[in-house]
A and B are shown apart, each in its own frame.
Chain A
């Protein structure tokens, strides 16, 4: 009986201790600050770099990233509200967060275009957008509502290729990174992903899509309303939109933010 009581005290301490420590990190103004950034999975490589740059410029601050489909992340922010900064691959997902719980300092900070990727040995012979219509080409897209999937569908629509390409689609993946993985492993013959995905990936072959056939993805970033460290969040946004952030983004294959 005595030991059981001890056990329950230990458990209670752990539970309560867990609560108090997490609330103290988010409320602390000095010492270590933990900034939580929710970002589109296409930003993974670039933001990992930007994150460590930001950490070395701001000693005591740790940046934690949660990457995923922007649409998913927007839903998570709405229901959980744990993000300080949201960087989205689409304006639509940002609009969702802007409605609930709200955002400040919203800025478009980068653009991206689409490319076709194939395995390095290109088993299906894909060298143009039209080649995706060839019978038997196994094409992977992002799912509808996942930004990379929506942009790809929009592009196919604008090129009047939807009816011919859709029958070749063998999988609708949950996020951009999963789309790339399906071609990386050689399972799919081709996929439509962001140009930034292939800037640092030598495991796949990139087929550029001419600008007149392409669409431009615009990436907004903002401080999420309710962040307990809004000042730090704002300085992260400033860092991303500043010259150093922009240079890093371009190094990882992103285009400059839209003008005007």
Chain B
């Protein structure tokens, strides 16, 4: 059914859409298309791309490994302070990344609460290392796994668990063989979003891990630094992130917004 949209909405909506579309369009129009392959295969860009891939994938693994159990606790646990714990876990999502970086320094830096201890007894230093970049990326992306997985766990009918228990399955077995497979779509969605967030991480990384080619200079940091001397090179690298972001959106479609498009959906 076609419904009339008020003119004021058309105008404001068009401004809103243009506002979001223009920067992306700007990147596409100003991109050095003729030399983009050559630019992206240069040693500097290749190093940054490989490091970004490595850091973002490791951060996704960490987010899933620690985030899924946390989501399970939040979904099924009954304890005081659960709402507080959830708010705390989601905090990195709304925290300015540079603040996250400063916080990470106080916690895990060489003079940090845990970091000084790590260095003294284990000889481990996170700042200025690839591990530090992974830590920064994990910090900002773990909430996305927790949110998505908890929503999945909550949507499950508890009768499946009871049925499994009645049939003699131990809780661990039920979790592995019954529950996790059923929430797999939400877990995958959470992991993909976490990966995209980790891939774009900038502020916490440069503050906590620093900026060194091949070690901590991920693509966003490389974009920032390249912009000083070579705007076209920065645009070329930016486009990689734009394309990857669009791929994530296409892959997840309805899962991000929870909205089913009436024109294509069945519900």
Contact = CB atoms under 8 A, between A and B. Distances in A.
B225 A185 contact: no
Interface residues of B, number: 25
Contacts of B213: 172
Interface centre among A145, A171, A188 (most CB of B within 10 A): A171
24 contacts: A4-B8, A7-B12, A69-B228, A71-B228, A75-B231, A144-B229, A145-B228, A145-B229, A170-B128, A170-B210, A170-B212, A171-B128, A171-B212, A172-B210, A172-B225, A173-B210, A173-B211, A174-B224, A178-B206, A185-B111, A186-B110, A187-B109, A187-B110, A187-B111
Interface string B4-36: 001011011000000000000000000000000
Main secondary structure of the interface of A (DSSP, over half): mixed
Interface of B: 6, 8-9, 11-12, 105, 109-111, 127-128, 206, 210-213, 215-217, 224-225, 227-229, 231
Contacts of A174: 206, 211, 224-225
Interface residues of A, number: 28
Interface of A: 1, 4-5, 7-8, 11, 69, 71-72, 75, 138, 140, 143-146, 169-174, 178, 182, 185-188
Nearest to B129: A170
Main secondary structure of the interface of B (DSSP, over half): loop
Interface centre among A72, A140, A172 (most CB of B within 10 A): A172
Interface centre among B8, B216, B229 (most CB of A within 10 A): B8
Contacts of B229: 71, 144-145
A178 B227 CA distance: 17
Contact of A172 (B11, B109, B211, B231): B211
